[in-house]
Amino acid sequence: MQRYQNYALGKWFDGEGVETNVYNAITGDKIGEVSSAGLDYEAMLVYARKTGGHALRKMTFQERGRMLKALALHLMEKKNKYYEISSWTGATKIDSWIDIEGGIGNLFANASLRKQFPDLPYYVDGVAAPLSKGGTFIGHHIMVPKEGAAIHINAFNFPIWGMLEKIAVNLMAGVPAIVKPSEYTSFLTEVITRDIIDSKILPEGSLQLVVGLGRGILDHVTSENVVTFTGSASTGKVLKGLPQIAQESVPFNLEADSLNATILGKYATPGTEEFDLFIKETVKEITIKAGQKCTAVRRIIVPEDLLEEVEKGIAARLASTKIGDPSQEGVRMGSLATRLQVDRVRASVEELSKTQNIVFGDLDNFEVIGADKNKGAFFSPILFRNDNPFVNTDCHNIEAFGPVSTIMPYKTIDDAIELAKMGKGSLVSSIVTPNDQEATEYVIGAASMHGRILVLNKDCAKESTGHGSPMPLLTHGGPGRAGGGEEMGGKRGVLHYLQRTAIQGHPTTITKITQQFQVGAAMPEANPHVFRKHFEELIIGETVFTHKHTVTDADIVNFANVSGDNFYAHMDATSLEGTIFERRVAHGYFVLSKAAGLFVDPKKGPVLLNYGLEEARFTKPVYPGATIGVRFTVKEKVDQEKRSEDDIAKGIVKFLVDVFDETGETVALATILTMVRKLDQA
């Protein structure tokens, strides 16, 4: 009998006794046992902080991103073995693909975020705030990794995705994790965790695993830890209300199952592509993962005159959905994860049946292919109909966490919005409509009670990821019943694991701390020219003070001829009455172009190319006769990895281009991005 193990304090070991037996959800056969009894959670938190956290906090965002990318590539090579084990949870191949490759995709997505962070172990947030008249005292914000651990308590439905989508974010932030998957499906999480640990890609202590019940896992958390919970709203609220959480002010992110709704717009009538899409996508959301998704469709809200047709369409598709062993040809829906879940979903269905009618499905009489439905955790899709959803409101309060949904009518789009919001806060809703005005009305009206809204029509259907798929670069969470939390969301998710701190001081000091040039800081003159220096030799703040150029009418005419920009303010002095200009004015792009001519050192050197321009703005008109010069300052440096052995070792350098006139006043500002060779490629 397989004994699935915990990974803690750098070792794999059994818990004491047997807390939970785990079973194959298709056959009902016992496949192993798990226990976390006896784990020293206080020691695990200390180990995470002092061992894993210490190593992660020393790494820059660029290094952490590359680490995640390496881990994603490693797991992709091993993904095939996860599919067989995933099927033991009742998952079809499509279900498993979402869990396995969707989870690994989160690693890739978070790895790519490194391009949005500085080449530092901490993040510089926003822009400087001037705090004094003379400019010698400024404020800024930095965000540093929390010096604790992320404790992730995950649900049974996605044993791989649930772990990877969360640890990808905390690892990117520089924070280690202790993961407690559901004991019922932790055997799959244990398998992939072994591959992660064996790869040695993560610093030791970055990841610890609890496969059992995890009793006491929150007893020793402090304000430096972050707790996330995914699962039922009732359990989440109990954990969030623990005295230790409140007393220590522990950040707690609750992502709870919710009564998500999909709306058929009035313009998506039978015969339109959108109507067919609605039927297809709704059935998909009912049956994928056998409805065991926190984002699954629980309420189907349709125009009252289309209720019959929609009901028939959904029922027909559900009738053609084959249930059974995912390895069998034609099976499109597997089982629930456990027999316990069958009992729970059945109880919810029976409760819902008191106020609404089943129009498709049967709790006892349904066919299962290739398996014994009395041994496996199989469940029939159930479609309810509720003709009076504003009065019979159980469908807005009771969630059957399986392939169960309720169809209901609405009269106006405002009614549809109100019905959707009666779920008291949802992770997601969707509207299928070809009419953008209708979509706008729904989105703006419903957004306050939803974490995400999908607008689906024929134009985006081919590439749409669907109602039920949270994406790593978009936030996942929702208000009210959905928990009031937020995770993922690209950079937003990473910031949840960082502590924001305001810093104040002289611009030179703040430049040193942030490693970003701040206006008013010391600007030592570069010698030699910055274009003659390699990436490692450049110092933040060093500046080239260029020669000057006096702008002439001929400059303006010649630039207009070259660029084709004959805007009246540049070319017609008689048309300036009523404008802000005193006379014809030089093109802003001429000013920047001339600035480049002044600051560029033309000889071949370490600078490989200029590949971008950011934050360009023109702050003062430049008239003929004005004399301009440039302060060209090293603003920020970002390391860049080599893509291959033959690639050139290089980094990205941002330069501040400050163009000023004869009065010393700035007339244009921009940031240029350059690619600069490193010394080992000299």
CA 576 – CA 570 distance, rounded (Å): 10
Q: Which class in CATH covers the domain with range 260-469?
A: alpha beta
Beta bridge partners of 431: 263, 455
CA 119 – CA 128 distance, rounded (Å): 18
Six-digit token string for 62:
């660029």
Q: In this structure, which amino acid lies at residue 321?
A: T
278 CA to centre of own chain: 26
Can you tell me the mean pLDDT for 470-489? 87
Q: Where in the chain is the domain with CATH 3.40.605.10?
A: 2-121+146-257
Q: Where in the chain is the domain with CATH 3.10.129.10?
A: 502-681
For the residues of 510-554, what is the DSSP string, one character each? HHHHHTS--TTS--PBPSS-GGGS-GGG--TT-EEE---EE--HH
**What is residue 483's three-state secondary structure?**
coil
Can you tell me the mean pLDDT for 393-402? 94
Six-digit token string for 52:
């894993």
Whether the per-residue pLDDT at 150 is higher than 90: the answer is yes
* Helices 161-173, 186-199: crossing angle, 10 deg rounding: 40
pLDDT averaged over every residue in the chain:
92
Can you tell me the mean pLDDT for 112-118? 89
Instruction: Note whether 667 and 620 are within 8 A (CB).
Output: yes
Strands 607-618 and 666-677, by their bridges, are antiparallel
Query: Phi first, then psi: what are they for 514, rounded to 5°?
Result: -85, -15
CA 318 – CA 381 distance, rounded (Å): 7
Beta bridge partners of 475: 488
Residues 321-356 have pLDDT tens digits of: 999 999 888 899 999 999 999 999 999 999 999 999
pLDDT for 311 equals 95
pLDDT for 486 equals 87
CA-closest candidate to residue 499, choices 226, 202, 137, 113: 226
Cα atoms in the Cβ-side hemisphere of radius 13 Å centred on 71: 34
Six-digit token string for 378:
């199989």
CA-closest candidate to residue 610, choices 619, 620, 600: 600
pLDDT for 625 equals 93
CA 511 – CA 175 distance, rounded (Å): 26
pLDDT for 475 equals 87
Is 363 buried (19+), middle (13-18) or exposed (0-12) by CB count in 10 A?
Answer: middle
Instruction: Note whether 487 and 255 are within 8 A (CB).
Output: yes
Question: How long, in residues, is the chain?
Answer: 682
pLDDT for 1 equals 66
Q: Which CATH superfamily is domain 2-121+146-257 in?
A: Aldehyde Dehydrogenase; Chain A, domain 1 (3.40.605.10)
Query: Which residues have C-beta within 8 Å of that of residue 415, sequence separation ≥ 6?
Result: none
DSSP 326: T
Beta bridge partners of 627: 550
Residues 413-427 have pLDDT tens digits of: 999 999 999 999 999
pLDDT for 642 equals 79
Q: Where in the chain is the domain with CATH 3.40.309.10?
A: 260-469
CA 262 – CA 453 distance, rounded (Å): 9
Residues 51-61 have pLDDT tens digits of: 999 999 999 99
- In the chain, what's the furthest Cα-to-Cα distance? 92
For domain 502-681, which CATH number applies: 3.30.365.10, 3.40.50.2300, 3.40.50.720, 3.10.129.10? Answer: 3.10.129.10
609 CA to centre of own chain: 32
Residues labelled catalytic: 255, 294
